[in-house]
């Protein structure tokens, strides 16, 4: 039944084709006045400069890692890694390209009315969403197709390979299932690029934003996006490289992670199908309970087909939004599009699973995953939208002073962990009860299946934001800016849901990856069996190492976040000095007589954010090796779980604190507590500046941290000793 | 060998006696001018009012809980609980009483010179330190002495008791070792009071501080501690009830927790001494490896004697500080006092363990515990003292604006989790390697053994701070305030070390308590054995419940912190309104012609902080029951570990962020970046206000959260089902 793979090949082709169509549709619109076209060109140029600079750094790192993978394992593993990396990079590029072409076109459409502006922005977003989904699925399909020799049921086994040098150093051969390594390497390539994109883009976008605000707004009292501010273009570039490029790579990575974790687990299960425990597990998740070679391909490819259903659902959701004639309630239209995608995904999953040898317990795991994502999304909205109490209370606190406002914002972020904590715990318990670790992995798969729609809606927001910047820069009539602001604020709500969704799905797919790690690292010691890990063990060789590693894992996200925040503040500092220098060197800039040097600001931010991305990325890659080599494989699982626990809470706290502080500012700007220029407004600007790096740099990067560490662990697990080496 | 208990009885008597002597010594000094005496009287009155109000709330809660304990278990358990609660409350009262008598006396001594002021402040602190240590040890000695019938080796066994109603509801008898329940109940009494003290006192102190600053300093530009500010007295009262009363109860609780966790584990080990695994463990930690009835008492009472050694060491450390003639380097004197206590404690532990049937692996666990506490303490100092780079960088960032300053402060707090994470992980691995969970428990014991000295030095700080307030209020010459400020700043460094120490020891003693819980809950299912917990289990009855509970545990500290922060900001808000009202109603206040209504401010803060303490306290007590009843005993262990992981990181982050922001402000006030009144100073004040509740309310309360939840879990473990009940 290998032919099943045709379905995922066709669907990914369809996704890429329709992305191309949306791109064409968007390009048909005019980009407006010469001034608008000029601004767009500036932004495009800045974004391309940064992305190409970043790609050069990537290229070196990727080739080095590929060489290492090739030397230790096989060339196929290295190739899969490179395919993942290149596709992830391409997704970022294509999305960014389309977003920077769409922005001025949205502005121009907004000169007519809001509806056509929404259509242009949405098709720009759809390009990104469908590209991400199509490339991710297509790449994985390609990898399996190219290296199908290693996936054949007849050759599947735990290989033992003697690696020159390495096997001597570690004192034994390394053991793995080759096919599992291939899909994991593909995932690692995607994750690594995503981390770079998120961290680099996140530092870029916030440093440019802070630099522009601190001198432009606070010292010189220029309005937002004023063309006299030398950092304006950098700020708009940041929205594209951070919010569009970063987001695309991020969700692609989660998407891939959730699929490959299912495949890796399935491969180990298949190899160990004669083990009694595993047979019992199989009995629970399959009709008939036999994992025969006859239905082997069904089980490997089912996840791909479920995802294909998600892509079709996303495509239909996007079409719904674009086709809908009566867009009087724009927000309702966007939400309905998402709802339609979710429901269609559930229906298609049901059909796929009914046709496969898997039984309905797996389907229910998928449904639980989707429901969990949506609930966490709504909770994020509650805590960060100015329609509800929490943000109103932050605005009220801003009125009493900046410190009280920030304090209240932090409290909102902290308390917003409550419901997600409970929902995730319930979802884990239920999916595990349905089908063990396989159930958890299918839950993650469900949550991410209609990622195309989520990305489309999430990308739509920064496009509308940029369109507003261009309206300001090109000095268009006030009502144009008002329309783009309206589009942006609608996007904010859906984006808040999207962010919550990203965090929830990250937690779940990280857990699925950790489960895959456990199968690869622990399930394969001696005979293959269902892996278990003791927090505290009577086995003196494991002893307290797992709990020690839990502590180390819980610490890493904090250090990682600190490095990111410092990256932002140091880069912003450099920007502040440069902007002040420009204003001083040429007083004509502030009078609007001479043009500021936009490129200098862009190049400073680019260089600094690329430099500041190194240390956090290194920490992420190196930590699993340190823990693995010193404390062994069981402890590494503990480390990953500790990191996940800490990451999830910290990510929710950061994202919602930032969101609440941001929207409290917007709420005040709407005229509450004295509106713009009031004491409350000044406080809220300080609050927003504190919250911004938390929300747009730290939060999203934390989502990737654990997943990248997990996939690194899956790949290199066989290098690590089983037990700690520190105590002989 | 039950007579060994005489040693701990004698030493705790000695501690209380010397506390009394130090109190007498301190009282011999004059409290100064009538104005100073009046201010002191105001502060004392306010502090007594709050503490008695609090005690009334306590009394009701304690009696209800004691009744429940008596009904479910035995009257001895209820009695032990009440003894613990009353002693913990007394420690707070005695320390607070002595501190509020010392403050004016320190001010008066500072009119002469710094050295005599140090002596008075130090003896005030010593009263608290020795009272805490003496009462904690004395109380436990009393409990064991009174109920020695239940501790006799001949009667020790796992009892099965049919409790009316309850056994019907849970469908079986409850099982426990009565002696373990008695010591745990004693610990729970102490912990519960500590939580109330920390949370209530913490909200009180920061709300009063913020209220006083926000109106007094920011709106009316009054200096700190100005007698025209209606909130001045409440602010000074806050220092006593929060920093003195709260701290004392907190460390008493850690101290008791670390002792009883060893005793509980020893009791289970003794009962199960015939199990082969346990015999192997015994072989590692005892000379000869036999846990015979002959040396039973040695093993139960050894922890008490090790602690007795710590108390003697603390006493000698305090004496050293007071006796030292040449106090030219005041800070060095304080640090040397602490060092002397640490070294003496190590020596005395060596002697005690050599004489006991335990072998040296236990001694090394004690040494590792002490070293870990000291290292974490020094790290805290590095990140929060203005002598080092991190705080200087925060001050530099303050110069660029409040938002950048706060962002940098948060980054400092986050990165400061790095070394403590590693140190704790190493310490856990090593102590576990030395003697399993017993080793971890002895590590915690070591860390807390010389708590008398730590509390003495920590209490000295707020006394000096209060003395400064009195100097300001009584309008004494400028140099007096300068001397008390100097004493205060010396105290700050040692207090930073003390805070780090408190967090490190809390993590370790929480882990020891969780270990004790595991022995009580899991080690006693079926036959008694060494407990283990699987993160993810093949046993379908456990399944994913442990990992779900890990997520829930990691979430709780965030919600708890949010409730505390909101408690502070809401109370501060009420204060702000009241102060504004007073200034408006009587313009004479600001002119210094009429006296403000101090009492109104005190009563508002008291009432509000007592009310705001209810929800976080309830969360702490109720959560273990919810998890235990729904998810069972294994999951409850996971829940506690998740909470501990999250708590430790969050506590370090909060404490050091607040400390760095506070000291950056002080650094700027010393004249850097324009000194007082500069832009940087304004930024740093906003930063300090954000950091204050993090440092003084959230951080210290988080230390208690997990320990209280653990001890509640130990006590009620036998009520919970072994496996989750939610999936049949």
- A649/B404 touch (CB, cutoff 8 Å), yes or no: no
Helices (H), B474-597: 478-521, 545-585
Chain A neighbors of B554, CB-CB under 8 A = 421, 554, 645-646, 648-649
Query: Which of A215, A398, A548, A665 to mutate to probe the B interface, most B CBs <10 Å?
Result: A548
Task: Please measure the distance between the N-terminal and C-terminal CA atoms of chain A and give it in whole angstroms.
Answer: 50
B608-644 confidence digits (pLDDT tens): 998 998 899 999 999 999 999 999 999 999 999 999 9
Q: What was the pLDDT predicted at A725?
A: 80
- A376, A425, A688, best to mutate vs chain B, most B CBs in 10 Å: A425
State the nearest Cα–Cα gap between B76 and chain A, in angstroms: 32
In this structure, the dihedral spanned by the alpha carbons of residues A355, A356, A359 and A362, taken in order and rounded to 10 degrees, is -110
pLDDT at A371 over 70: yes
| Distance to chain A for B406, nearest Cα, Å | 7
Q: Which tokens sit at A696?
A: 């747009």
Confidence of residue A417 (pLDDT cuts 50, 70, 90): very high
Q: Considering only CB atoms, which chain A residues are within 8 Å of B412? A: 562
What is the mean predicted confidence (pLDDT) over B537-555?
A: 88
d(CA A426, CA A445): 17
- As a whole number of angstroms, the distance between CA B697 and CA B560 comes to 11
Angstrom distance (rounded) from CA B470 to CA B34: 12
Q: What is the DSSP letter of A696?
A: I
**Which CB contacts under 8 angstroms, 24+ apart, belong to B672-678?**
B672/B395, B673/B395, B673/B396, B673/B398, B673/B399, B674/B399
Are the beta carbons of A489 and A506 closer than 8 angstroms?
no
| pLDDT at residue A288, as a whole number | 63
Set of chain A residues whose Cβ sits within 8 Å of the Cβ of B407: 565, 568-569, 689-690, 693
Task: Tell me which chain B residues have a C-beta less than 8 angstroms from the C-beta of A420.
Answer: 555
CA distances in angstroms from B81 to B64, B70, B257, B297, listed in the order given: 11, 10, 13, 23
Task: Assess whether pLDDT exceeds 90 at residue A390.
Answer: yes
Q: Do B554 and A431 count as a contact with CB atoms less than 8 A apart?
A: no
Element (H, E) at B176: strand B174-176
Residues in chain A: 728
Which pLDDT does position B648 carry in this prediction?
A: 94
Alpha-carbon distance of A630 to B1, in angstroms, equals 44
Q: Which residue of B has its CA nearest to A560?
A: B415
Using a CB-CB distance cutoff of 8 angstroms, which residues of chain B are in contact with residue A543? 429, 432-433, 436
**What is the per-residue pLDDT across B295-314, written as a single tens digit (0 to 9) for each?**
788 888 999 999 999 999 99
Residue with tokens 């700690």: A724
Euclidean distance between CA atoms B333 and A292, whole angstroms = 76
Residue-level pLDDT at A462: 82
Q: Say yes or no to pLDDT of B289 above 60.
A: no
CA-based nearest residue to B722, from B531, B552, B553: B531
Contact (CB, 8 A) for A260 and A504? no
For residues A24-36, give the mean pLDDT: 90
H or E segment and range at residue A295: none
Collapse the DSSP code of B12 into the 3-class scheme (helix H, G, I; strand E, B; otherwise coil) and give the result: helix
Instruction: Among A546, A559, A645, select the one facing B418 at the smallest CB separation.
Output: A559
| Chain B residues closer than 8 Å to A546 by CB | 535
Lowest mean pLDDT among A269-278, A601-610, B153-162, B543-552: A269-278
Map out the domains of chain B as residue ranges: 2-719
Cross-chain Cβ contact B411/A550 below 8 Å: no
Residue-wise pLDDT tens digits, B71-112: 999 999 999 999 999 999 998 888 889 988 998 999 999 888
First to last CA, chain B: 50
Q: What pLDDT score does B525 carry? A: 66
B400 vs A264 pLDDT, higher one: A264
Interchain contact, A429 vs B552, CB within 8 Å = no
pTM exceeds 0.90 for this model: yes
* Mean of pLDDT values over A358-375: 91
Question: CA nearest A687 in B: which residue?
Answer: B403
Q: Determine the average pLDDT of the residues in A165-185.
A: 91
Angle subtended by helix axes A75-110 and A247-271, to nearest 10: 150
Nearest CA in chain B to A649: B555
Q: How confident is the model at residue A562 (pLDDT cuts 50, 70, 90)?
A: very high
Instruction: Report chain A residues whose CB lies below 8 A from the CB of B284.
Output: none
Torsion of CA B28, B29, B32, B38, to 10 degrees: -60
pLDDT digits (tens, 9 = 90+) for A105-143: 999 998 888 888 888 988 988 998 899 899 999 999 999
Please report residues of A whose CB lies closer than 8 A to that of B429.
543-545, 548, 631, 724, 726-727
Tell me whether residues B536 and A518 touch, CB distance under 8 A: yes
Work out the minimum CA distance from B677 to partner chain A, whole angstroms. Answer: 18
Q: Helices B247-271 & B418-449, crossing angle to 10 degrees?
A: 80
- Say if the Cβ atoms of A648 and B554 lie within 8 Å: yes
Split at pLDDT 50, 70, 90, the class of A657 is: very high
Q: What does the pLDDT read at residue A214?
A: 79
> Which tokens hold the place of A33?
């006045």
Residue B122 in contact with residue B460, Cβ under 8 Å? yes
- Cβ distance of B544 and A642 shorter than 8 Å: no
Residue B450 · residue B373 · CB < 8 Å: no
The alpha-carbon radius of gyration of chain A (Å, integer) is 25
| Percent of the residues in chain A that have a pLDDT greater than 70, as a whole number | 97
CB < 8 Å to A727, chain B = 429, 433
* CA atoms of A15 and A7, how far apart (whole Å): 12
Inter-chain touch A535–B533, beta carbons under 8 Å: yes
Q: At what angle do helices A451-473 and A478-521 cross, to 10 degrees?
A: 150
Inter-chain residue contact A538 with B551, CB threshold 8 Å:
no
* Separation in Å, CA of B215 to nearest CA in chain A: 10
Residue B524's pLDDT is what? 66
Are B229 and B579 within 8 A, CB to CB? yes
Q: Across the A/B interface, how many CB contacts are shorter than 8 Å?
A: 272
Which residues from chain B sit within 8 angstroms of residue A547, using beta carbons? 428, 432, 511, 641
Q: Which helix (H) or strand (E) holds A227?
A: none
The residue written with tokens 């209020």 in the block is B473
Query: If you average pLDDT over every residue of chain B, what do you get?
Result: 88
Q: What angle is formed at CA A74 by the lines to CA A71 and CA A80, rounded to 5 degrees?
A: 110
Element (H, E) at B462: helix B451-473
CB spacing of A400 vs B426 below 8 angstroms: no
Confidence (pLDDT) at A352? 93
Within 10 angstroms of residue A632's Cβ, the number of other Cβ atoms is 23
Least confident of A255-264, A474-483, A634-643, B222-231: B222-231
Confidence of residue A538 (pLDDT cuts 50, 70, 90): confident
Contact in structure between B645 and A554 (CB atoms under 8 Å): yes
Q: Considering only alpha carbons, which residue of chain B is nearest residue A407?
A: B690
Residue of B280, B398, B519, B562 best to disrupt the A interface, most CBs of A under 10 A: B562
Which of B261, B396, B411, B533 best probes binding to A when mutated, by most A CB atoms within 10 angstroms?
Answer: B411
State mean pLDDT over B596-617: 89
What is the DSSP code string of A229-268? Answer: STTHHHHHHHIIIIIIIIHHHHHHHHHHHHHHHHHHHHHH
Contacts of A631 in chain B (CB under 8 A): 429
Token pair listed for A30:
């005019």
Confidence of residue A328 (pLDDT cuts 50, 70, 90): low
Q: Distance, in angstroms, between B33 CA and closest chain A CA?
A: 38
CA-based max dimension of chain B: 80
CA-based nearest distance A331→chain B, Å: 31
Which residues on chain A are in Cβ contact (under 8 Å) with B515? 536
Between the alpha carbon of residue A654 and those of residues A676, A702, B558, the distances in Å are: 26, 10, 12
Backbone angles phi, psi at A112, to 5 degrees: -85, -70
Q: Do A555 and B408 touch (CB under 8 A)?
A: no
Average pLDDT over residues B475-479: 87
- Which phi and psi angles does A304 have, rounded to 5°? -65, -35
Helix (H) or strand (E) holding A160, with range, is strand A159-161
For residue B246, give how far its alpha carbon lies from the nearest alpha carbon of chain A (Å): 22
Residue A728 pLDDT > 70: no
Residue pair A589/A601 in contact (Cβ under 8 Å)? The answer is no
Query: Is B425 within 8 Å of A549 when comparing Cβ atoms?
Result: yes
Q: What is the pLDDT of residues B133-143, one digit of tens each?
A: 999 999 999 99
Helices (H), B324-385: 330-355, 360-384
**Which residue among A407, A413, A551 sits closest to B425, beta carbon to beta carbon?**
A551
Interface contact flag, A414 B562, Cβ < 8 Å? yes
Which string of b and e fits B47-61 if b means at least 16 CB within 10 Å?
A: bbbbbebbbebbeeb
Residue A52 has pLDDT above 90, yes or no: no
> Per the CB < 8 Å rule, is A406 touching B690?
yes
Q: What percentage of chain B exceeds 70 in pLDDT?
A: 97
């Amino acid at each position: 039944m290998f032919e099943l793979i045709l379905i995922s090949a066709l669907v990914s082709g369809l996704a890429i084709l329709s992305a191309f169509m949306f791109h064409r549709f968007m390009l048909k619109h005019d980009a407006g006045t010469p001034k608008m076209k000029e601004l767009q060109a500036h932004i495009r140029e800045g974004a391309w400069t940064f992305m190409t600079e970043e790609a050069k750094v990537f290229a070196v790192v990727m080739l080095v890692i590929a060489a290492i993978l090739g030397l230790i394992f096989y060339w196929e593993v290295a190739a899969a890694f490179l395919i993942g990396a290149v596709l992830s990079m391409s997704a970022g590029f294509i999305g960014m390209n389309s977003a920077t072409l769409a922005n001025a076109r949205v502005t121009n459409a907004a000169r007519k009315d809001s509806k056509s502006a929404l259509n242009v922005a949405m098709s720009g977003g759809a390009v990104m969403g469908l590209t991400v989904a199509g490339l991710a699925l297509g790449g994985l399909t390609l990898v399996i197709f190219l290296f199908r020799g290693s996936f054949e049921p007849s050759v599947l086994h735990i290989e033992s390979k003697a690696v020159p040098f390495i096997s001597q150093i570690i004192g034994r051969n390394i053991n793995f299932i080759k096919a599992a390594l291939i899909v994991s390497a593909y995932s690692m390539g995607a994750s690594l690029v995503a981390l770079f994109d998120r961290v680099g883009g996140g530092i870029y976008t916030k440093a440019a934003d802070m630099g522009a605000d601190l001198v432009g707004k606070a010292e010189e009292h220029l309005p937002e996006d004023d063309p006299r501010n030398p950092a304006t273009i950098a700020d708009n570039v940041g929205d594209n490289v951070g919010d569009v490029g970063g987001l695309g790579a991020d969700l692609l990575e989660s998407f891939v992670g959730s699929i490959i974790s299912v495949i890796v687990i399935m491969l180990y299960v298949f190899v160990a199908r004669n083990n009694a425990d595993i047979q019992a597990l199989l009995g629970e998740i399959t009709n008939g309970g036999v994992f025969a070679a006859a239905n082997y391909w069904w089980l490997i490819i089912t996840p791909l087909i479920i995802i294909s259903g998600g892509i079709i659902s996303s495509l239909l959701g996007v079409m719904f939004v674009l086709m809908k004639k009566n867009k009087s309630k724009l927000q309702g239209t966007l939400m309905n599009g998402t709802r339609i995608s979710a429901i269609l995904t559930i229906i298609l999953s049901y059909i796929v699973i009914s046709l496969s040898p898997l039984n309905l317990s797996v389907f229910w795991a998928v449904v639980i995953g989707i429901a969990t994502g949506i609930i966490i999304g709504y909770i994020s909205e509650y805590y960060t939208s100015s329609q509800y109490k929490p943000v109103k209370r932050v605005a009220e606190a801003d009125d009493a002073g900046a410190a009280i406002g920030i304090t209240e914002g932090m409290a909102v972020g902290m308390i917003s962990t409550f419901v997600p904590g409970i929902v995730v715990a319930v979802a884990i318990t239920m999916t595990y009860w349905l089908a063990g670790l396989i159930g958890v992995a299918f839950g993650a798969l469900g949550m991410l299946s209609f990622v195309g729609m989520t990305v489309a809606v999430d990308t739509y927001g920064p496009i509308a934001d940029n369109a507003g910047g261009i309206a300001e820069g090109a000095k268009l009539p006030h009502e144009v800016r008002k329309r783009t602001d309206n589009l942006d604020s609608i996007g904010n709500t859906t984006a808040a849901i999207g962010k919550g969704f990203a965090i929830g799905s990250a937690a779940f797919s990280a857990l699925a990856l950790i489960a895959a790690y456990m199968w690869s690292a622990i399930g394969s010691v001696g005979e293959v069996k269902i892996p278990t890990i003791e927090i505290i063990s009577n086995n003196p060789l494991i002893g307290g190492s797992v709990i020690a590693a839990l502590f180390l894992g819980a610490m890493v996200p904090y250090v990682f976040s600190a490095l990111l925040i410092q990256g932002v503040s140091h880069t912003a500092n450099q920007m502040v000095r440069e902007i002040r220098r420009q204003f001083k060197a040429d007083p004509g800039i502030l009078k609007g007589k001479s043009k500021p040097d936009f490129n200098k600001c862009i190049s400073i931010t680019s260089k600094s954010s690329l430099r500041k991305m190194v240390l956090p990325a290194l920490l992420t890659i190196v930590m699993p090796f340190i823990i693995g080599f010193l404390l062994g494989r069981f402890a590494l699982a503990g480390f990953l779980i500790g990191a996940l626990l800490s990451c999830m809470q910290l990510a929710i706290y950061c994202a919602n604190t930032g969101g609440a502080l941001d929207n409290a500012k917007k709420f005040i700007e709407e005229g509450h507590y004295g509106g713009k220029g009031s004491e409350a407004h000044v406080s809220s600007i300080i609050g927003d500046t504190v919250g911004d790096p938390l929300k747009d740099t730290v939060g999203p990067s934390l989502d990737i941290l654990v997943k990248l560490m997990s996939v690194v662990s899956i790949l290199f697990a066989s290098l690590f000793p089983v037990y700690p080496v520190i105590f002989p």
